[in-house]
Amino acid sequence: MRVVLAEDLFLLRDGLIRMLQAYDFEVVAAVDTGPDLLQALLTERPDVAVVDVRLPPTFTDEGLQAALEARRQIPGLPVLVLSQYVEQLYAKELLADGSGAIGYLLKDRVFDPDEFVATVHRVAAGGTALDPQVIAMLVSNTERTKPLERLTPREREVLELMAEGRSNGAIAERMVITERAVKKHTANIFLKLDLPPSEEDHRRVLAVLAFLQVAP
């Protein structure tokens, strides 16, 4: 699988390259600035990009902007954004186009290589993976999660895990229920959130968007 990597700190970039290579990824470009990232994404068209939010030259959200711009030109280009901080605002911006294939994780998540690499694969396959911390922020906001009140606590739990990007199998394992039970919950979630019938992956993205309160 071909990866473009953007990280300005040498140690982290080096570590990430080694980790990805150890899991049989081909790092086709490793860049350290926003403009270089955009260039690499457009010319290499990788299977997935792993991008640090804060990049030179401005050291603001350069990486995020480059990723968003690349996705405007190549819709659905899988991007996993890493950051020292997670912001709901940025999660919304990344997911706003509704085409999925977005990951948004705290940098700490690379501490668990297996889990991290699984997430990269999920994003590459078109899934959505939000950091548990983003989800925790969303859930703590009781006023704004009102539309989700129609969901049962069980269904909310499934939706949260879905937002983290977990497959039905993984969700079943986490919640210690059968995969069929998970399927039933997801079907109920789609129904209660008024999501139009379409391909399963897309509906999962839409459900997460509804969770984030973004108009798809």
Shortest separation between residue 13's beta carbon and other proteins, angstroms: 18
Binding other proteins (rule: CB under 8 A), the pick from 60, 73, 178, 198 is: 60
Cis peptide before 35 (omega within 30 of 0): no
What residues form DSSP beta bridges with 79?
Answer: 49, 102
Distance CA 68, CA 93 (A): 8
Classify residue 196 by its DSSP letter.
P
Does the protein bind other proteins through residue 122 (CB under 8 A)?
Answer: no
What residues form DSSP beta bridges with 2?
Answer: 26
Shortest separation between residue 126's beta carbon and other proteins, angstroms: 26
Shortest separation between residue 18's beta carbon and other proteins, angstroms: 18
Binding other proteins (rule: CB under 8 A), the pick from 26, 108, 115, 194 is: 108
Q: Report which residue type is found at 186.
A: T
C-alpha distances in angstroms, 163 versus 21, 135, 157, 179?
27, 7, 10, 17
The nearer residue to other proteins, 5 or 53, going by C-beta atoms, is 53
Place of tokens 């906001």: 141
Site mask for other proteins (CB under 8 A), range 79-98, x = bound: -----xx-xxx---x-----
Q: Report which residue type is found at 43.
A: T
Q: Which stretch binds other proteins (CB under 8 A): 23-31, 104-112, 114-122, 178-186?
A: 104-112
The nearer residue to other proteins, 22 or 191, going by C-beta atoms, is 22
Q: Scan residues 138-157 and list those touching other proteins (CB under 8 A).
A: 140-144
Shortest separation between residue 87's beta carbon and other proteins, angstroms: 5
Distance CA 136, CA 151 (A): 17
Classify residue 110 by its DSSP letter.
G
List the strands of the sheet with 102-106, edge to edge. Answer: 26-31, 2-6, 48-52, 79-83, 102-106, 128-130
Size of the site for other proteins (CB under 8 A): 19
Cis peptide before 57 (omega within 30 of 0): yes
Binding other proteins (rule: CB under 8 A), the pick from 1, 26, 43, 58 is: 58
Q: Which stretches of the chain bind other proteins, using CB under 8 A?
A: 54, 58, 60-61, 84-85, 87-89, 93, 106, 108, 111, 137, 140-144
